């Protein structure tokens, strides 16, 4: 039975200026996302041995309804165009996408999802949404809405803070360990 991740009792003294409740929330967020992604990955790989990025690129192409350029997809996935080239090579090799020259701007390549790719997305999305429905059952609409609000608040803070230089945190006040190094055997 998984329990909430909690910080140690001396947290406030050990990390001056840091809020234990927020540290716990962030730790629980990251752990929960990691475990959810693991379960999603496990289920998606029953369909095709693609990475999360591969599935995401296909979902973006499917959702767009029109062919996208490599740069479009790179922006969605927040990676460089060189990385997208490599990812698209994988997807093309498995027959999920096709490249076509852009009819007007000859620098560009249009990426289309193939019929096979659409079939894969049609099988993949129900798996993802069924997983969400299972993992977040028994929670009230209000709990889910609060949850989404916290996620959105965090994303806005990331947006603001990522443009600033990182702050200089107050130093750790390391607690005296209760267990000695020589006790390890």
**CB 83, min distance to DNA, A:** 4
Q: Coil, helix or strand for 89?
A: helix
Q: Does 148 interact with a second copy (rule: CB under 8 A)?
A: yes
Question: Which of 1, 8, 66, 104 touches DNA by CB under 7 A?
Answer: 104
Dump the DSSP string for 114-183. Answer: -HHHHHHHHHHHHHHHHHHHHHTTT--HHHHHHHHHHHHHHHHHHHHHTTSPPP-PPPP-PPPPSS-GGG
CA distances to 72, 76, 80, 122, 129 from 45, rounded to whole Å, are: 26, 22, 25, 14, 15
Q: Which is closer to DNA, CB of 52 or CB of 139?
A: 52
What's the CA gap between 75 and 77, in Å, rounded? 5
Q: Does 49 interact with a second copy (rule: CB under 8 A)?
A: no
Q: Does 101 interact with a second copy (rule: CB under 8 A)?
A: no
Question: Which of 28, 48, 109, 131 touches DNA by CB under 7 A?
Answer: 109
Which one of DNA, a second copy, none is in contact with 48 (Cβ closer than 5 to 8 A by kind)?
none
Kindly give the interhelix angle for 115-135 and 20-44, rounded to the nearest 10 degrees.
140
Q: Does 41 interact with a second copy (rule: CB under 8 A)?
A: no
Instruction: Using the rule CB under 7 A, give the single segment among 24-32, 104-112, 140-148, 167-175 that binds DNA.
Output: 104-112
What's the CA gap between 170 and 15, in Å, rounded? 7
3-state helix, strand, coil in the chain (%, to 5): 60, 5, 35
Q: Does 23 interact with a second copy (rule: CB under 8 A)?
A: yes
CA angle 4, 136, 46 (to 5 degrees): 105
Mask: binding to a second copy, 153-182, rule CB under 8 A, as x and -?
A: xxxxxxx-xx---xx-xxxx-x--xxx-x-
Q: Does 82 interact with a second copy (rule: CB under 8 A)?
A: no
The footprint of DNA on this chain (CB under 7 A) covers a number of residues equal to 30
Question: Which of 9, 13, 36, 101 touches a second copy by CB under 8 A?
Answer: 36
> Contact residues for DNA (CB under 7 A)?
50-51, 53-54, 69-71, 74, 77-90, 99, 102, 104-109
């Amino acid at each position: 039975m998984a329990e909430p991740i909690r910080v140690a009792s001396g947290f406030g003294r050990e990390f001056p200026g840091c809020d234990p409740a927020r540290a716990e929330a962030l730790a629980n967020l990251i752990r929960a996302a990691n475990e959810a992604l693991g379960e999603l990955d496990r289920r998606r790989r029953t369909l095709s041995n693609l990475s999360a990025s591969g599935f995401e690129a296909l979902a973006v192409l499917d959702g767009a309804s029109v062919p996208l350029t490599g740069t479009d997809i790179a922006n969605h996935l927040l990676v460089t165009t060189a990385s997208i080239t490599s990812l698209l090579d994988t997807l093309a090799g498995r027959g999920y996408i096709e490249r076509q020259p852009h009819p007007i701007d000859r620098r560009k390549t249009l990426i289309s999802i193939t019929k096979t790719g659409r079939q894969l997305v049609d099988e993949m999305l129900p798996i993802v949404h069924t997983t969400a429905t299972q993992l977040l059952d028994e929670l009230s609409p209000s709990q889910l809405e609060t949850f989404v609000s916290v996620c959105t608040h965090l994303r806005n803070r990331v947006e603001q803070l990522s443009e600033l230089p990182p702050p200089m945190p107050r130093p750790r006040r390391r607690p005296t360990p209760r267990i000695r190094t020589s006790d390890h055997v």
